[in-house]
């Protein structure tokens, strides 16, 4: 079975500062990795995904993530955040073979302060 | 191209009533997933369906919950005899293929179910 741990439940950051949201996963099989963002009262929007190839993945809204197989991590980063980045961020994994169901972490609430 | 449509957006039921949540996948998508988000928690997988087939229901509670995805019409998640613990946001996601990871799951805006 797969599991995902998001190490920080809340991350407050000042506007224009850099941010890193941490994600570690556990799996006995090969996985795909995803970051989703959820704005209040909305569904989830895909930020980026890692399937294979380059371990540095670039997504929408200036976000990027790096897959580290040895540390089983997939941390999300942005060099300069904006007020509009305030949202809940979810890291998720799915098996690379078989059913595509997603296993989510608990989420990290990113709050951007002016 | 319309996204995943869920209705209603908000649903209030009294204990013991039935709740029906609907999900229309994106056009061209024949695979539907249901997830539940309890307060202050992440999303948990419930069930995966293709047209007229339940493929994986390993996340569904054993009683009171059922899901279907008929040949025509939306997918339905049905909760019978609701209890307070069923209060949650229920999300539907769709994808065009079972292994279409280059086209990941697209999520609807969810149905927020409140049990009085």
Mean pLDDT of B2-8: 91
* Nearby residues of B50 by Cβ (< 8 Å), 6 or more positions away: B30, B31, B32, B69, B98
Alpha-carbon dihedral sign for residues B40, B82, B72, B57? positive
According to the model, what pLDDT value does residue B61 have? 94
Q: CA–CA separation, B76 vs B24, rounded Å?
A: 9
Kindly list the residues from chain B whose CB atom is less than 8 angstroms away from the CB atom of residue A30: none
- Nearest 5°: phi and psi at B65? -105, 140
Res. B60 pLDDT band, cuts 50 70 90: very high
| Mutation site, A36, A43, A103, interface B, largest B CB count within 10 A | A43
Number of Cβ within 10 Å of residue B26's Cβ equals: 18
How confident is the model over A96-110, as pLDDT tens digits?
A: 776 678 999 999 999
Residue B102 has pLDDT above 70, yes or no: no
Q: Which pLDDT belongs to residue B101? A: 54
Chain B residues in contact with A104 (beta carbon < 8 A)? 35, 42-44
pLDDT at B42: 83
Q: What is the pLDDT confidence band of residue B40, given thresholds at 50, 70 and 90?
A: confident
CB B41 within 8 A of CB B65: no
pLDDT of residue A96: 77
Residue B42 is nearest to which of A43, A45, A107, comparing CB atoms?
A107
pLDDT(B103) > 90: no
Q: Is there a contact between A46 and B104 if contact means CB atoms under 8 Å apart?
A: yes
pLDDT at B39: 82
Could you report the per-residue pLDDT of A43-90, keeping only the tens digit for each? 899 999 998 888 999 999 999 999 999 999 999 999 999 999 999 999
Instruction: Report pLDDT digits (tens) over A20-37.
Output: 999 999 998 888 999 999
- B104 or B27, greater pLDDT: B27
């Amino acid at each position: 079975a797969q599991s995902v741990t998001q190490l920080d439940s809340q991350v407050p950051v000042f506007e224009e500062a850099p941010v890193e949201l941490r994600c570690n996963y556990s799996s006995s099989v090969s996985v795909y990795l995803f970051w989703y963002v959820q704005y209040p009262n909305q569904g989830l929007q895909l930020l980026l995904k890692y399937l294979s190839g380059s371990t540095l993945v670039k997504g929408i809204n200036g976000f990027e993530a790096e897959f580290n197989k040895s540390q089983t991590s997939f941390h999300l980063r942005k060099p300069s955040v904006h007020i509009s980045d305030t949202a809940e961020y979810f890291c998720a994994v799915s098996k690379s073979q078989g059913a595509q169901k997603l296993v989510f972490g608990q989420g990290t609430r990113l709050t951007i302060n002016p | 191209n319309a996204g995943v449509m869920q209705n209603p957006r908000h649903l209030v039921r009294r204990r013991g009533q039935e709740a029906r949540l609907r999900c229309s996948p994106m056009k061209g998508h024949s695979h539907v997933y249901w997830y539940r988000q309890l307060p202050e928690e992440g999303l948990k997988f419930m069930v995966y369906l293709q047209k007229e087939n339940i493929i994986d229901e390993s996340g569904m509670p054993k009683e009171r919950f059922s899901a279907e995805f008929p040949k025509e019409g939306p997918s339905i998640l049905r909760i019978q005899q609701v209890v307070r613990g069923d209060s949650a946001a229920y999300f539907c996601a769709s994808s065009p293929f079972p292994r279409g990871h280059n086209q990941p799951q697209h999520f609807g805006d969810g149905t927020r179910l409140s049990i009085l």
